[in-house]
């Protein structure tokens, strides 16, 4: 009968439009959340009433859908990892740069300069115990400067190692939470989609992408997350743990990769250069000093304790015990008579003489500082660039998935009018039925 079809259509509309109104109201309530994707009510035609004309029976509510652009979401994850990695690297390199900061007058360059310049007055008065004592003080200051910077770099390496462990813990924890949510989503999706669960999972995936660059794939009933080097983290409701042994440079971008680079690349690079400088200073100073004579006429005395290798030289450099105990052991003369000042002059000139593997002492130190500054500046520029790119992508996401108060307000009016129209249909059908019954009774 025509009346049942009309009533069915109108009643389904009366049920659907309040639900649509609730969805719009929820959108407006969450309009201030930049990570909230707006929802829309999913509906479908209820099908034919079985009559010869094939008139539909109204509308069925299928569920609620969150509006997302998969391409933008993928780029957002990638850029989140890139930005996080760039910021972690920039911070680590800035810490390394601060180790070699000479701005306050107490840096390694000042210690090097003071040490080698201390040989100049000694070359003019080789017998002065005051000049010898000042040289010893400046030598100890240089030794301490090397020790401090070696210790500071080692501490930065240790901090990076702890950061790697912390990142791995977070990655494994997030993977487990994502797997658990995926199980809930699969259970709920059997009856109807639940966007809130998917939003919670998306938030966890976003957080995960700050630590490591990931690929997220949902195909049919399967869901998985892998790292850029195809290490499986999540498959459906199962999470796989990742350990330090699984991590290398192929892991992709993110804070984990940058902490790894600080620990395994940058700190060894700069510490190695510092060790090489300390080693070459030790070798060159000892070679000249051992050829000279002290105040007692003795020769073949090292100024620094000999080092067999450049490895750990900045940590191990120290004065020779004889020189540390008695400044008379400092050799300044070329000949045993003590009347020549050639040794003191040669040692003093080492600061600027290009006799080391990479030029003079100042050349080697300057190259080290330049390399650190260049790497630090490049990392900071990269962090700024990725921050800008991420902002652009967030704006694109907002334009596609974000809530517009004006649009939602228009939707509310539309749902209200549709509801009123459906109610009017029921009223009209009721009136027509009454009229028909009255005619039949007459």
32 token code pair: 């201030």
User: What string of pLDDT tens digits covers the 442 residues of the chain?
Assistant: 445 556 667 777 778 888 888 888 888 998 888 888 888 988 887 766 555 455 667 787 888 888 889 899 999 999 999 999 999 999 999 999 999 987 665 689 999 999 999 999 998 898 899 999 999 999 999 999 999 999 999 999 999 999 999 999 999 999 999 999 999 888 875 555 678 888 899 999 999 999 999 999 988 889 999 998 889 999 999 999 999 888 887 888 999 999 999 999 999 999 999 999 999 999 999 999 999 999 988 999 999 999 999 999 999 999 999 999 999 999 998 875 555 778 999 999 988 888 777 788 888 899 999 999 999 999 999 999 999 999 999 999 988 888 888 888 888 888 888 878 877 877 776 677 677 677 766 5
Whether residue 260 is found in the same domain as residue 293: yes
Residue 113 has what pLDDT? 94
pLDDT at 254: 94
**Polymer length of the chain:** 442
Query: Of 251, 278, 301, which one is at a domain's C-terminal end?
Result: 251
DSSP 310: S
Paired tokens of 390: 């991420």
Which neighbouring-strand residues pair with 227? 214
Do 93 and 143 belong together in one domain? yes
Q: Enumerate helices (H) and strands (E) in the chain, giving the number of each.
A: 13, 6
**Residue 167 forms part of a structural domain:** no
Residue 146 CA to chain centroid, in angstroms? 30
CA distance 13 to 18: 9
The token pair that represents 242 in the structure block: 């990742």
Both 226 and 110 in a single domain?
A: no
**210, 236: one domain:** yes
Residue 205 lies in a domain: yes
Q: Using N-to-C axis directions, what is the helix angle for 129-189 and 195-211, rounded to 10°? A: 160
Q: Which domain holds residue 41?
A: 2-67+404-441
The CA-atom distances, in angstroms, between 184 and each of 241, 267, 342 are 20, 44, 83
**395: in domain:** no
Predicted pLDDT at 33 = 87
Residue 216 and residue 187 share a domain? yes
Q: Is 324 exposed, middle or buried (0-12, 13-18, 19+ CB in 10 A)?
A: middle
Q: Examine residue 13 and state whether it is found in any structural domain, yes or no.
A: yes
* 397 within a domain of the structure (yes/no): no
What does the pLDDT read at residue 52?
46
Last residue of a domain, one of 218, 236, 251: 251
The b/e string for 15-33 (b: 16+ C-beta within 10 A; e otherwise) is ebbeebbebbebbbebeee
Residues 265 and 368 in one domain: yes
Q: Same domain for 288 and 386?
A: yes
Question: Are residue 334 and residue 267 in the same domain, yes or no?
Answer: yes
* Number of domains composing the chain: 3
Say if 166 falls within a structural domain: no
335 plus 419 within the same structural domain: no
- Does residue 280 belong to any structural domain of this protein? yes
79 and 20 co-located in one domain? no
pTM: 0.84
Q: Is 424 exposed, middle or buried, given 0-12, 13-18 or 19+ CB atoms closer than 10 A? A: exposed
Final residue of a structural domain among 236, 251, 266: 251
| Chain Cα centroid distance, residue 259 | 8
CA 62 vs CA 57, 69, 128, 195: distances in Å:
15, 21, 97, 13
Residue 198 and residue 49 share a domain: no
Task: Please tell me the predicted confidence (pLDDT) of residue 104.
Answer: 61
> DSSP letter string over 89-125?
HHHHHHHHHHHT--TTS-SHHHHHHHHHHTHHHHHH-
Going by C-alpha positions, the residue among 13, 41, 42 that lies closest to residue 25 is 41
On whether residue 304 sits in a domain, the answer given is yes
Q: What is the reported pLDDT for 440?
A: 64
**pLDDT score of 106:** 63
Q: So what's the pLDDT on residue 341?
A: 77
d(CA 73, CA 215): 11
42 plus 82 within the same structural domain: no
pLDDT at 415 (0 to 100):
83
Residue from 393, 411, 378, 401 nearest 86 by CA: 378
């Amino acid at each position: 009968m025509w009346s049942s079809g009309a009533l069915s259509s109108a009643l389904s509309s009366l049920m659907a439009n309040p639900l649509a109104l609730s969805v719009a109201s929820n959108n407006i309530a969450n309009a201030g959340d930049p990570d909230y994707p707006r929802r829309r009510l999913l509906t479908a035609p209820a099908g034919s009433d079985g009559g010869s004309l094939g008139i539909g029976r109204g509308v069925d509510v299928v569920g609620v859908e969150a509006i997302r652009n998969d391409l933008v979401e993928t780029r957002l994850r990638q850029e989140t990892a890139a930005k996080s990695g760039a910021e972690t690297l920039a911070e680590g390199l800035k810490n390394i740069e601060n180790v070699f900061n000479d701005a306050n007058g107490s840096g390694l360059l000042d210690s090097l300069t003071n040490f080698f310049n201390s040989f100049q007055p000694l070359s003019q008065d080789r017998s002065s115990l005051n000049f010898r004592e000042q040289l010893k003080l400046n030598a100890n200051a240089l030794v301490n400067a090397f020790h401090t910077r070696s210790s500071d770099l080692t501490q930065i390496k240790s901090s990076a190692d702890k950061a790697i462990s912390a990142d791995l813990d977070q990655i494994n924890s997030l993977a487990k939470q994502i797997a658990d949510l995926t199980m809930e989503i699969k259970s709920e999706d059997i009856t109807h989609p639940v966007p809130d669960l998917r939003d919670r999972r998306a938030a966890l995936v976003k957080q995960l992408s700050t630590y490591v660059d990931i690929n997220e794939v949902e195909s049919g009933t399967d869901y998985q997350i892998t790292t850029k080097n195809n290490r499986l983290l999540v498959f459906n409701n199962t999470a796989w743990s990742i350990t330090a042994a699984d991590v290398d440079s192929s892991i992709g971008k993110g804070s984990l990769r940058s902490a790894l680079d600080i620990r395994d690349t940058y700190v060894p690079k700069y510490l190695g250069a510092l060790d090489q400088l300390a080693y070459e200073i030790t070798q060159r100073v000892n070679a000249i000093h051992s050829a000279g004579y002290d105040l007692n006429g003795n020769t073949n005395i090292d100024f620094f304790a000999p080092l067999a290798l450049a490895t750990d030289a900045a940590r191990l450099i120290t004065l020779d015990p004889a020189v540390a105990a008695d400044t008379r052991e400092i050799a300044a003369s070329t000949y045993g008579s003590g009347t020549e000042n050639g040794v003191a002059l040669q040692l003093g000139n080492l600061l600027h003489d290009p006799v080391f593997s990479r030029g003079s002492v100042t050349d080697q130190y300057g190259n080290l500082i330049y390399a650190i500054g260049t790497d630090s500046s490049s990392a900071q520029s990269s962090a700024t660039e990725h921050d800008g790119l991420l902002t652009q992508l967030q704006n694109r996401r907002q334009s596609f998935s974000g809530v517009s108060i004006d649009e939602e307000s228009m939707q509310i009016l539309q749902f209200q009018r549709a509801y009123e129209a459906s109610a009017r249909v029921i009223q009209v059908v009721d009136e027509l039925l009454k009229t028909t019954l009255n005619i039949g009774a007459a």
